[in-house]
Every structure is written in C-alpha cells, then in structure tokens.
Amino acid sequence: MLLKTLGYILQGTGVTIAVTLVALPMGFLIGLILSIVSVYGGKAASAAAGIYSTVMRGVPPLVLLFILYFIISGSINLSPFWAGSLSLGIISSGYQLEILRGALQSVGSSQMMAARALGMTRIEAIRYIILPQALRIVIPSWANEASVVLKDSSLVYALGVPEIIRRAQYISASTYEPFLALSAAAIIYFVLVFATNRFLDLLEARVRVPGLELSR
C-alpha cells in the first residue's frame, strides 16, 4: 500500500520541481540586481532595497499567492501554477537579496578600488572582480534558501496545483489514512531536499577558493 501511495504522490514531484525551478531563479535574479543596487547604488538606492527586502520578508507567501491569483490574475490571466511560482519567487527575492548583499559586502572594498585604479568601470569591476568571488562565497547560505523554496512549493496546493501535497491530500481523502499519505510525501520532500543540499555542497567544494569565506 505504501509503495502504491508513494508512486501516485511521486507523479506530483515534477510539478513541485517545476515550481521550484521557476521561483528560485526568479528570486535569485531579482535579489542579485537589488543587492548590487543596495551595496553600490548609494544611500537612496540602499534604503529602497532595504524597504523592499523588509516588506517581502514580512508578507506571508500564502497571502501574496492569493493576491496574485484572486486579484491580479483577473487582469493578466495567471494560471494557478504561475501565480504560485511567481509569488514564491517574489517572496524569496527578499531573502536572497539579504544573502547576496552579505556576500557582496564580504568582498573587501579595496578590491573595488584596485579595479578602478586599473581602469575598470564600476560595472566591469562588479562583473569581473566582485561577483565571481561573491557567488562562490554565497553558496552555503544560498543552499538554505533553496531548501526553503523547495518546501514552500507545497503552498501552491492551496490553488489546486497537483503537486506532492495535493496528491497526498487526494490519497488521504480516498483511503482515510492521512498518516500513510503524508508520510510518503515527507519521504519525497526529504529526498529532494537532501539531493539539493548534496549537489550544492559538491558545487561549493568544487569552486571554493581557499581563504575566501563569508565571515571575512
């Protein structure tokens, strides 16, 4: 029975992964741009990025999901999948902004000055000197956010998206054995999170530069 239940719920794994693969890179892109603006854009830009981060980290993901789907989707026709994925990406961008800002600030300001002294523009220095170091430093902290987004993808079940939790709910309702269904879902999530963290650990070990750490 467990194997049959596990097999059915596994069919929702692709949806869970798809939601994560939309939300996580979206959050990274927004967070990266805003973190650069925050660190190198002056006081006003830093303050604006800080307000954005505070708001996004203070809004429950489910609230933003409902806003996108039940209010905004009336104007731009968002499907439940896209409403859920985009809301998670927006929320994640607030956390990733802070993670990436810390990584950028950990790269000594002297390196920016040295790059400018060599004739690089500010943008060139960020692209070729600062970012390659910061993106190596940030991997361990970013791995935590990747795990959070992967688990938060379960929230899209509230819109009827047939991901892991929604399928577990179907099994629970039809068999009246919620423990079995939810245990199977928990096993799948554990495997996904473990595999994600393991991959990022290997990536961090591969690109690590000795002496270059976040605490620097």
Least confident segment among 9-13, 183-187, 204-208, 211-215: 211-215
Give dist(CA 102, CA 137) in Å, integer.
Answer: 9
Ramachandran angles phi, psi of 73, nearest 5°? -65, -20
Tokens of 31: 């967070």
Query: For residue range 83-124, what is the model confidence (pLDDT) as tens digits?
Result: 999 999 999 999 999 999 999 998 878 888 999 898 999 999
| pLDDT tens digits, one per residue of 142-189 | 999 999 999 999 999 999 999 999 999 988 888 888 888 888 899 999
Give me the residue spans of the domains in the chain.
17-161
Phi, psi of 79 (to 5 degrees): -75, 165
Question: Rounded CA gap, 41 and 7, in Å?
Answer: 50
CATH 1.10.10.10, domain 17-161, yes or no: no
